[in-house]
Chain A
């Protein structure tokens, strides 16, 4: 029984960040238990489920069982309805995260990690200024379990960092208030991502249509907390669906929050690490957090196992992880954040103007870079940020 075992590392949360962290801790020889509050790993899905093939391949060979659609094209729709379509350089997928997340947990278990569901973590245990474990309830019954390191991979609702004194709460402007419906009985291009950029439809965010086959899609939107007072994400989405797909049947609905912030500067403390949404690792321009979460989980897991081997779980030692993350993702992450803020300044007229000039580029010559280049005529600072991102990739 897991409550009687001794563990070096406790991972809180069984999303992509938590499962990948547990996998890499176990792979590197330390004893690890992952605690998930919900009944199932992978359910409920709170995600558009879009990933790039390239991103997935850093970790695993894409498994056909996860893939609902393969995407090769993008369409951007401007506020007044100009449609700009272009080919993607690399392909993407719409996953079924119920299967995907479950498999990630299974990879961790195969390496020797213990996975526990229905285990809610309600606080940390301390020994002096070191985190020494967690307390919580398993099927409603209290438990305490000690460890040398706790990895908080507890998502957008993360509290693990706060309990250790890290300032992890998000500012309103950096939180996307989001909602998605999976709808069916519609016709969509099953190989294309559709994005609607418009202040009217989704201020400080965008509407997405991610196909799941030819007749179903994840349709959702996020709006920045800067604009969410007075009109909720739900109302924006209902308006959109009413206009575009009035006869669609809704087979799933969920609310969600996407942290579109720079990664927190401080993501470690004595005996504690944060990964994934909990550490604000989501790409703040796209809202994509699956691959960044897995990357954070992998780096956290490796450093945690190393710390256990060396017998040093101090903040100083664990800060190697922080440095690695900021080195790999850091600068681009900050640029994406800056691009997000610049795009936020574009008015609907600006966006329409950009769409009109991009429409003049022949379709076979259109690339995302060219779209941005058109955009920069409107906002020169965007040029600087975009060039840096592409130069840094």
Chain B
């Protein structure tokens, strides 16, 4: 699962432009991933200029 490290984002929109399923909500100073839609492709993590995203392995059910 992709997560956002707190207090790191600069709200630049680069990840929003890349996300293939449009599941990143970006406001003036807020960012949120809509996890129901996210396909965990990690492109946002790879494009973010300042390493805001973190991929965490979710335990197998």
Contact = CB atoms under 8 A, between A and B. Distances in A.
Interface residues of A, number: 32
B12 A256 contact: yes
Contact of B14 (A39, A159, A175): A175
Contacts of A255: 10, 12, 14, 48-50
Given A39-B28, A254-B12, A257-B12, A232 B48 contact: yes
Given A39-B28, A256-B12, A179 B49 contact: yes
Interface string B28-61: 1000000000000001001111110000000000
Interface in A18-37: 37
Nearest to B22: A162
Contacts of B18: 169-170, 172, 175, 225, 257
B14 A257 contact: yes
Instruction: Bin chain B's interface residue count.
Output: 20 to 34
Given A120-B27, A159-B22, A178-B49, A254 B10 contact: yes
Contacts of A159: 16, 22
Interface in A208-260: 225, 228-230, 232-234, 253-257, 259
Interface of A: 37-39, 46, 118, 120, 155-159, 162, 169-170, 172, 175, 177-179, 225, 228-230, 232-234, 253-257, 259
B44 to A, nearest CB: 11
B26 interface: yes
Interface in B1-34: 10, 12-20, 22, 26-28
B47 A172 contact: yes
Contact of A233 (B17, B22, B49): B49
A225 B51 contact: no
Given A170-B18, A256-B12, A177 B48 contact: yes
Of all A-B residue pairs in the complex, the 8 with the closest CB atoms, nearest first, are A157-B13, A257-B14, A233-B49, A157-B16, A229-B46, A255-B49, A255-B12, A255-B10
Nearest to B13: A157
B13 to A, nearest CB: 3
A172 B46 contact: yes
Contact of A157 (B10, B20, B26, B48): B26
B13 A155 contact: yes
Nearest to B14: A257
Given A158-B17, A159-B22, A225 B49 contact: no
A121 to B, nearest CB: 10
Nearest to B30: A120
A185 B47 CA distance: 31
Contacts of A172: 18, 43, 46-47
A228 B22 contact: no
A232 B19 contact: no
A259 B17 contact: yes
A127 B28 CA distance: 29
A37 B14 contact: no
B16 A256 contact: no
